[in-house]
Structure 1
Amino acid sequence: MSASFAEFTTDDVPARERGDYWGRQVLQRMTIARSVRDQSFAARLRRLRGPEGEFWDHFSDELPVARDGARCRRDGGDEIYVGMLLDGHSDVSQAGRDQRLGPGRLYVVDMSRPVRAHWARHREVAIVLRRKQVAACLGGPLDDLAGLVLPRQGMTELLASHLRLLALGLPALTAQERNVALATAVAMTCSALRSGIEAEDTPEGLKAAVRLVIQRRYADPGLSPSQIAATLGYSRAQLYRAFADETISIAGLIRETRLAQAREMLIHTAPAPETVTRIAELCGFLDPSNFSRMFKARFGIRPQQLRDEITASVSGSARLGSR
């Protein structure tokens, strides 16, 4: 069964009716505050729905919503909602957990329990799963999920990246590509939920997140432990403690990643028009001389020598093949 794609918007709804339309036709489980229903309101939802779950890409103006106990008892609230802001901020309260959320943090709402949320003008992505499916994935009760903010660790960071990319590419994907992307998102969400209820942020999870940031941003010459800490929402001291038992520091890991990437580019792009200086720049090195010294210290050969040897080897093979 293929995933179905649908888009909802307030654009063609009379201004005074938009809040009611959004609550009734789109959010469904939530009650929108009267202050929104009494004024002009703009929103859009792109939804990908398959047998294993749903993906939402949701934009709206300021939106205060609530779900009380009576409504939970009335409609059952079968869904587990895992959301992440792309921009804006929100306040979400459920099961005694009061969270102020900004972009990049994954959080969980259990629709079987009362919840209050207040979004500023925002854009958010989410995966929506059935309770039975999540319970089977976790192998136990779901009591600890309501209001949970997932720790920043390996799978959670991968899921966040996947959801961002899916939101950007969704309208252009083929039906088959949408099926694959949704199935991947659902599997990653289950894994992230499982790790989220088993532990808070762990040193291993934090180290995995640091490595992911470095892999994505090694080309930025300004990348530093301080920038990584700010990106992940930690202090430098927390990062340093997590790496205390490692043989390489965070700065060393940045340098090692850049050098390894430069070596790959030198090997696999020769004889290419990119100069050694340009490859150094693409890998985050601003000083070609310093890059050459570090490369020699790490690999026992200067980058230009490596490029020359590979070019000579490729040219020799080409001459032999032409005979």
Structure 2
Amino acid sequence: MDRIALQHTAKFHAQRISKLIEGDVEVIAASNAPFEIHVFESQWLTAVRGAGSATIARNGPLCNNDVYVMHLRKGAARLLHPEGSASVGSGQFVAFRGTCPIQVHHAQSYEFLALRIPRPFLERYLPEWQEREFVPTDLTPESKVMFGIADSLIDAGGQPCGDSLQSLGRSVAELLARALGQHAWPIGTADNPAEAHRRRVRQFCRAHLHQTDLSVDVIASGTGLSKGYLHRLFQSEPSSLMQWVQSLRLEAARQRLEDSGDRLSSLTDLALSCGFKSPAHFSSAFRSRYGTAPSQYRANCEPGKPLCGM
């Protein structure tokens, strides 16, 4: 465990965050204003508090399966991910998987508090938490207590024993589950096992949409369902399983192309982050679906243009 309070450049900020999340991070700053970061790190719970100027932060899929929670205390952020984007305002928080590549755009100065929690801790209390993934959520009494615990750990800088930290990590996960559960979408599938299985399959696909090798074999292995059963599950649906995955990827790419804050991403990066095997494959599928090339669609979405893709 360690506690760090530093003011450094964007490069140091990226290096420090890279260590914490076990993945590569790139931070692009609009000015030379320093970043401030305070960290409490342990096996069971990590808390990061920081502030900075207008920036863009990118990371690829992280090398862990933990859950991340980002709470904005000042400013606003735009999160871009394989399935689309989310706008998080001051006072809101959002949860997402560590295996998901994201970009975080801050158009102005900001302050944030972030948590990293073992995923099994959260799923013990709220197995369907991914129904709320990337959904901006207002603070609740439970989430205020959760972030208060994180602040206390950062400010104290102490080293509680392992058993205490493990218990604390579970308590924080339960608070997060309660905060997300208050806004959970109705499921209504308890009496319909097939629909519950379809929901599990869709959750798995959304979680692994960035993988170019996502296939029926991979989905069957990841969900514990047979390939034959997967085909039967989607026989009554408007499209097959892999057709649905393709539609999901195209919609995610379309939203990214429309996002004015994502202009720095090349079409190659965008295609790969949405799970397409190559830019050519992406361009062909996009043109087939929307009747225009991705580059032209993006150009028509620039400020002042009346309609995207026209």
Report TM bin, short chain: 0.3 to 0.5
- Name the structure where helix makes up a greater proportion of residues: 1
| Higher radius of gyration, 1 or 2 | 1
Higher RCO (CA-CA < 8 Å; seq separation 6+)? 2
